[in-house]
Amino acid sequence: MAIDWSPFVDVVRRHQRFLITTHVRPDPDGLGSQLALADALERLGKQVRMVIASSWPPRYTFLDPERRIARFEPPGDAYRDVDVIIVLDTGTWNQLGDFGPFMKASPATKIVVDHHISQDDLGGMLLQDTSAEATGRLVYEASMALGVTISPKAANAMFAALATDTGWFRHKNTQAETFDLAEILTRAGADPNRLYDQIYEQNTAARLNLLGLVLSRVKVIENGAIAYSEVRREDYAITGAIPQDTEDAVGYTRSISGVEVGVLFLEQPAGGIKVSFRSRSKVDVARIAELFAGGGHRLASGATVQSTLEDAKTRVIGEIKAALATA
């Protein structure tokens, strides 16, 4: 559903100091959207700062070589003077980490710009379009509403957002309009070849070794309808990898012929089990994720279960079986 950007434009015109954030464990859609929106606001003479409430993912350093996106450290005293807080690419408290309590207490105007189905009430203006393939598209629309010319820097950030959230134009959320926007961004200065090389062809040996463990543990059940694997806490020390190296690994579970739902269970270093879901078409995994206080898209979602690895597998797979039975 198309967004009416006029309330957003009004807020931007009336305020000067902006703080932009995205979800924990940020991906190129979250990071690229932050960088592109910051560029648009700064072109209007606004003061902009950017934070994330988790460690920086090293594979995306090329997106922000100046490291303008800072690690948020509670209680966040350095940001108490902001006029507006903008949350991009998520609308749930559990995806804001340590930033959540700061945001709840802040008197700043709050705006959420997101394309996910799952939403909490974050206490501000919600600009949501679940038909958008990426939040990067929404940032492009916001920039157009503000009357800002897209710079090459912003074009690269938005292209990274658009391309990765569509699996480099392979996923079902890819539309004819996706290619139209890709052309616009390329003409504005985006470099698709460089972006693909930086995102997908700069792996570390540690990341590949961790992926090898994931692949070696894949199990296929329910007559081939469910595939799952796991990352154990000790795997990071064994391989030298880091938690961010698990990104995209869940896709291999769904890539198996005949699998309807692929799942990856990850033991978190700080506790709990992160669960990543991917569905081929029949099962709405966002609904399953919501049962565990998570959410996302119909075909791609996530949640965190506060339990042991074995308990999380039992509970989550049980819900997937139930969903398949009624699909």
Residue 257 has pLDDT above 90, yes or no: yes
* 255: its two tokens: 């890539």
Relative to beta strand 261-267, strand 273-279 is antiparallel
Residue bearing tokens 């710079």: 151
Q: Where are the alpha helices (DSSP H) in the chain?
A: 6-14, 28-43, 99-105, 135-145, 152-165, 176-187, 192-200, 205-216, 235-239, 251-254, 285-290, 309-326
**157/236 Cα distance (integer angstroms):** 29
pLDDT mean over 7-29: 97
Amino acid occupying residue 320: I
Q: Evaluate whether 235 touches 265 at the Cβ level (below 8 Å).
A: no
Residue 1 has pLDDT above 90, yes or no: no
Read off the pLDDT band of 164 (50, 70, 90): very high
pLDDT mean over 277-296: 93
Q: Evaluate whether 151 touches 39 at the Cβ level (below 8 Å).
A: yes
Q: Evaluate whether 130 touches 119 at the Cβ level (below 8 Å).
A: no
Q: Evaluate whether 253 touches 217 at the Cβ level (below 8 Å).
A: no
pLDDT mean over 44-48: 98
pLDDT digits (tens, 9 = 90+) for 184-207: 999 999 999 999 999 999 999 999
Residue 208 has pLDDT above 90, yes or no: yes
Read off the pLDDT band of 40 (50, 70, 90): very high
Mean pLDDT, rounded, of the chain: 96
- Please give the CATH topology (third level) of the domain spanning 206-326: Diaminopimelate Epimerase; Chain A, domain 1 (3.10.310)
What are residue 51's DSSP bridge partners?
21, 70
Read off the pLDDT band of 239 (50, 70, 90): very high
**290/226 Cα distance (integer angstroms):** 19
Residues contacting residue 170 through CB under 8 Å, at least 6 positions apart = none
In this prediction, residue 297 carries a pLDDT of 87
Handedness of CA 207, 210, 216, 219 (dihedral sign): negative
Percent with pLDDT over 70 in the chain: 100
What are residue 128's DSSP bridge partners?
114
Q: Evaluate whether 317 touches 228 at the Cβ level (below 8 Å).
A: yes
Q: 75: cis peptide before it, omega within 30°?
A: yes
pLDDT mean over 222-228: 97
131 DSSP assignment: T
Residue 33 has pLDDT above 90, yes or no: yes
The reply to whether CATH 2.70.160.11 applies to domain 6-200 is: no
Read off the pLDDT band of 100 (50, 70, 90): very high
Amino acid occupying residue 280: R
What are residue 26's DSSP bridge partners?
none
In this prediction, residue 270 carries a pLDDT of 83
In this prediction, residue 170 carries a pLDDT of 92
In this prediction, residue 296 carries a pLDDT of 87
Residue 242 has pLDDT above 90, yes or no: yes
Amino acid occupying residue 136: G
In this prediction, residue 3 carries a pLDDT of 97
pLDDT mean over 262-284: 94
Of the candidates 142, 95, 148, which has an alpha carbon nearest to the alpha carbon of residue 289? 95
Where along the chain do its domains lie? 6-200, 206-326
pLDDT mean over 318-324: 97
Read off the pLDDT band of 269 (50, 70, 90): confident
